[in-house]
Amino acid sequence: MSCDTRSQFYYEKTSEKKLNRQKIILPIDDVILGLQSNETEKDFLKFCFLNRENISYVLLYQITALKLKKEEDEQEILRGNKIIGLRKKILENIQLIDQPVSQSLIVSEKIIKEILTKEYSDGELKSLVKNNKLNISSLWIVLTAAITAWEKKIEFEEDEVSAQTLERIKKIKKIIFSDKKISFLLAKEFVFIDFFNFEESKSPDVEIGCLDGLKLLICFLEKLPKSSYGTLLEKVSEIYGKVLFAKFGIKKQFLGENVIQFSPKKITTDSRLVNIKDKSI
């Protein structure tokens, strides 16, 4: 990433970063107020990047609900139009912010599909992984999404091909992330998800940074095709909800809790991970 690109997304001064950083458990209304107060600033993209994990679909639904509420009063139509402008600007910014991740996910999907067409040695598998955080994170997301999708499918209809494909994908993930050079760059929230035990009555304590990471992952997964990433989204959302309640006594807000709904803009991909099959079977 060039210095010019970095300066586009990052605040240069630590004091600016601290001033504009929103709290992880900030109520949605306060998040919206923060976005409104920074909308006209030249650093609005930086503000969105810094607080990306707070810009969820629940928040976008809430903004739309505010807009529709304003339309009920003719005197409030102007404010309603401003809210439309705010939502549009937010969507444009997060599209730009998320672009490297969405592109990396598409590449990772192609890699996994290629791996499943023939046999690879452990060394050959690891050689396909580029040792940087973005690519390693994307590969983890694709593999874990494929695993959770196949596990869900097998719950309802198990067959030999499905079971063998699931085991093959699990083995691929295990081989790749057993490499210390690769696992060292894996985000701690991904490791937390891998070892989270739903059977334990007490949720493990977690650092704020990890909770931030879980929330950010949810925001990314919300934008991806449900047929491929929906099961993983449900799993991560459930983990986040359990940890959030255990640590702060706060319940996670879901889309269904909003009366007014709309269809947010999605990142377009050709992903259908649930259809990835082991071609060697």
Query: pLDDT band at 165, cuts 50/70/90?
Result: very high
For the chain, give every domain's residue range.
Answer: 3-275
Query: pLDDT band at 280, cuts 50/70/90?
Result: low
- The string of pLDDT tens digits covering residues 37-67 is 898 888 999 999 999 999 998 888 888 887 7
Q: Are 29 and 23 in contact (CB under 8 A)?
A: no
Query: pLDDT band at 77, cuts 50/70/90?
Result: low
Asked if the model's pLDDT at residue 171 lies above 90, the reply is: yes
Q: How far apart are CA 62 and CA 257, in angstroms?
A: 10
Query: pLDDT band at 5, cuts 50/70/90?
Result: low
pLDDT over 90, % of the chain = 53
The pTM score is: 0.84
DSSP 152: H
Question: Under 8 Å CB-to-CB from 161, ≥6 apart: which residues?
Answer: 277, 278, 281
Q: What are 169's two structure tokens?
A: 């994908």
Q: How far apart are CA 168 and CA 20, in angstroms?
A: 45
Q: Which residue has the tokens 């739309």?
A: 64
From the number of C-beta atoms within 10 Å of its C-beta (0-12, 13-18, 19+), residue 44 rates as middle
DSSP 253: P
Asked if the model's pLDDT at residue 197 lies above 80, the reply is: yes
Asked if the model's pLDDT at residue 273 lies above 70, the reply is: no
CA 187 remoteness from chain centre = 13
Q: Are 16 and 178 in contact (CB under 8 A)?
A: no
Of 119-123, 214-218, 271-275, give the lowest mean pLDDT range: 271-275
∠ CA 242-230-201, nearest 5°, is 20
